Amino acid sequence: KNIVILISGRGSNMQAIVKACQQEQWPARIAAVISNKADAGGLAFAEQHQIPAIVVPSKGAASREAYDAELQRQIDAFSPDLVVLAGFMRILTPAFTAHYENRMLNIHPSLLPSFVGLHTHQQALDAGVKVHGATVHFVTAELDHGPIVAQAVVPVLDGDDEDTLAQRVLVQEHLIYPRAVRQFIEGRMTVEGNCVRITAEDA
Ligand code: GRF
């Protein structure tokens, strides 16, 4: 199976997935890492691991539609079974999300449906919630919606700021995202409406 990972920045989730794929010998390969930013830190890691690291620059694109069409063309050159968004900081067009329906995952740093969009850790602090976390979900046309695959919960502690909270959540992201990708690759994930069912490894 072929996995294409999209990033915009440091790519720590991408790295966790690449490492798990190698160490756990998934029946899959990371076919490419694609970034919309040339200076994304994660590109170097991909290159070091002999993974094609491609930049499809979003800066200067004629329109959102034109950009997504080009991005889709570049992704599909790798015949992906799964597209993984890992800190890919773009709003996606409905045509793009429809094309990858039920085969594109995202990780969002909050317990969805709470705190969509940006600055999720600050949103959580401002709301005064006592637990926070991360969500892996299938991507649909609506931002940070779509069937939920996995969630991890962390406590919000007295004295937390955006950074300490983000760090605690990120540790969990690196656990739940590779696990979810593996479950998909192993064909253990089925989507029924809003609900995702995951069958056991030996079922
Ligand atoms: C993560 O917090 C992820 O949940 C969010 O963006 C951040 C990306 O971090 N979508 P990284 O690039 O994977 O290190």
Q: What is the mean pLDDT of the chain?
A: 97
Looking at 108, 132, 137, 174, which residue is catalytic? 108
- Mean pLDDT for the stretch of residues 157-184: 98
Q: What integer pLDDT is reported at residue 160 of this predicted model?
A: 98
User: Could you tell me the residue range of the domain that residue 75 belongs to?
Assistant: 2-198
The answer as to whether 122 is a domain residue is yes
Structure tokens at 152: 């991890």
The answer as to whether 167 is a domain residue is yes
- pLDDT of 137 over the 60 cut: yes
Asked if 108 is an active-site residue, the reply is: yes
The answer as to whether 147 is a domain residue is yes
* Residue 177 to residues 4, 7, 112, 149, 170, Cα–Cα distance (Å): 14, 14, 15, 9, 10
The answer as to whether 34 is a domain residue is yes
The interface pTM score, or ipTM, of the predicted complex is 0.97
Instruction: Kindly tell me the burial class for residue 141, based on how many C-beta atoms sit within 10 Å of its own C-beta (0-12, 13-18, 19 or more).
Output: middle
Q: What is the pTM of this model?
A: 0.97
* Binding residue numbers: 11-13, 64, 89-92, 106
Q: What share of the chain in percent tops pLDDT 70?
A: 100
Closest CA to 58 of 108, 117, 107, 9: 9
- Whole-angstrom Cα distance, residue 93 to residue 90? 9
Q: What separation in Å is there between the alpha carbon of 167 and the centre of ligand 1? A: 11
- For residue 178 and ligand 1, the question of a CB distance below 6 A is answered with no
* Binding residue numbers for (6R)-10-formyltetrahydrofolate: 64, 89-92, 106
Mutate to test the pocket of ligand 1, among 43, 162, 170, 174 (most ligand atoms within 8 A of CB): 170
Tens of pLDDT, residue by residue over 87-102, are 999 999 999 999 999 9
- pLDDT of 203 over the 70 cut: no
Mutate to test the pocket of ligand 1, among 173, 176, 181 (most ligand atoms within 8 A of CB): 173
The answer as to whether 203 is a domain residue is no
- Tally of domains within the chain: 1
The answer as to whether 23 is a domain residue is yes
| CATH label of the domain that carries residue 122 | 3.40.50.170
- pLDDT of 83 over the 90 cut: yes
Band of the pLDDT at 139, cuts 50, 70, 90? very high
- For residue 64 and ligand 1, the question of a CB distance below 6 A is answered with no
